[in-house]
Structure 1
């Protein structure tokens, strides 16, 4: 039990995962990416910072995993991201009819499904690919895609494209930036913090703007 608590205490310190779990570090990385990209409970997980740090410790990760080439490591992580989205899509597809019948609550609004359906109809590729780079959205995007019944073949095309672009760009960025700036790994706390701020800020702004518009007073009919 104490080991499990210790793990969660260090979850937002990716360096600790890669340096303390040997050849199981890759499995932990894949599990976290899988959970964050398709399970409701995974929305809080640090996917971006974990991928970036995995790139920085790419040699260490490859050596501990049977000397597997780093390219293959990224492919395995991308596969976990693809599978996560598939699970999210299936969950949304199965629970869609139930969600349409559900009464509105403080965490669920039926109009959100209608807006999401219109959004996916117009921006299929952008919705599923760009959401990969945004915390929270990458967790719920495949679920909503299933709810609004996005064609599965199209979903898989964008799912694969998004998974590869996300994992390869961020892991390779960490990998090559570490080669250019070898001391980068000694400032990981700041780097992780900056990554979280950069990726989370657009969502926070969007939520504030949406909330503000939702509270804006409506014009009275006699003023029209």
Structure 2
């Protein structure tokens, strides 16, 4: 999918890509990335924030962009909630011993302990604010589940966090794109650069993920919350 997107970009630029792909592909990519970022370890290596902003900018170029961006905001919100629940259940089923990667850049014992201490100290508010910290966003649900945080309390906090994250970034991108669209040459230039950076960032992130997962494993205790 990424290779196809890169080819289209080379032939017709960002606008050609959007015209060829349409909102459906934007929906598929955004919802998938949001879910993965909130549910599984690979989400640590995906450019979720920049993707949401870029998707919003891209939708600003469509005649029905307003309806699409609001609908996508709802879809991304639901994907984030679903991802949070999956991440929580993964942590809960893993139990008190989360698998960590020794000396990994993000997936390591030290970072898991940092998230655990954050949850122990701030609980509800930590889950809420964690949405805006990329690597914590992914690890928080698993640590909350493994630490036995009250599921109802976690669900309320993570749902509110999802509401002030994905829809907000999409709408920021959309209304920023509407401003850019007033300058004919600026809109496609900015959009092209952002799409290319996301494609490159995703490829590099998946490479880093594979590299991270090959590291020797160790386990770490996660305390009850």
Q: TM tier, shorter chain?
A: 0.5 to 0.7
Say whether the 8 Å CA contact 1:40–1:140 is kept in structure 2: yes
Aligned residue pair count: 181
Q: Deviations over 1:47-97 (max 9, x none)?
A: 111110111122457849xx9543222111111111111111110111023
Identify the structure with bigger relative contact order (alpha carbons < 8 Å, sequence gap 6+).
Answer: 2
1:95-140 per-residue CA deviation (whole Å, 9 max, x = no partner) reads: 02343xx79944543x766654442132123322222222222111
- C-alpha separation between the residues in 1 aligned to 2:88 and 2:18? 30
Show the counterpart of 1:187: 190
Structure 1, unaligned runs of 5 or more: 194-224
**Aligned residue number for residue 25 of structure 1:** 26
Alignment of 1:192-207 (within 5 A): none
Paired with 1:191 and 1:103, the residues of 2 have a C-alpha distance of: 32
The offset of 1:144, in angstroms, is 1.1
| Equivalent position of 2:175 in the other structure | 176
After TM superposition, give the deviation of residue 145 of structure 1 in Å: 1.2
Asked if structure 1 preserves the Cα contact closer than 8 Å seen for 2:26 and 2:55, the reply is no
- Alpha-carbon RMSD across the aligned residues, in angstroms, is 3.2
Question: What is residue 6 of structure 1 aligned with on the other side?
Answer: 3
* More strand per residue: 2
Is the 1:62–1:69 Cα contact (8 Å) retained in structure 2?
A: no
How high is the TM-score relative to the length of structure 1? 0.67
| Deviation of 1:173 (Å) | 1.0
Following superposition of structure 1 onto structure 2, how do residues 1-224 of structure 1 map, counting pairs within 5 Å? Answer: 4=1, 6=3, 18-22=18-22, 23-59=24-60, 63=64, 68-99=67-98, 105-107=102-104, 108-109=108-109, 116-182=115-181, 183=183, 185=187, 186-188=189-191
Q: Equivalent residue of 2:39, what SS?
A: coil
> 2 CA distance for matches of 1:129 and 1:114?
18
**Aligned partners of 1:88, 1:105: CA distance in 2, in Å?**
21
Which segments of 5 or more consecutive residues in structure 2 lack a partner in the other structure? 8-13, 198-225
Give the whole-Å Cα distance in 2 for the aligned partners of 1:89 and 1:42: 14
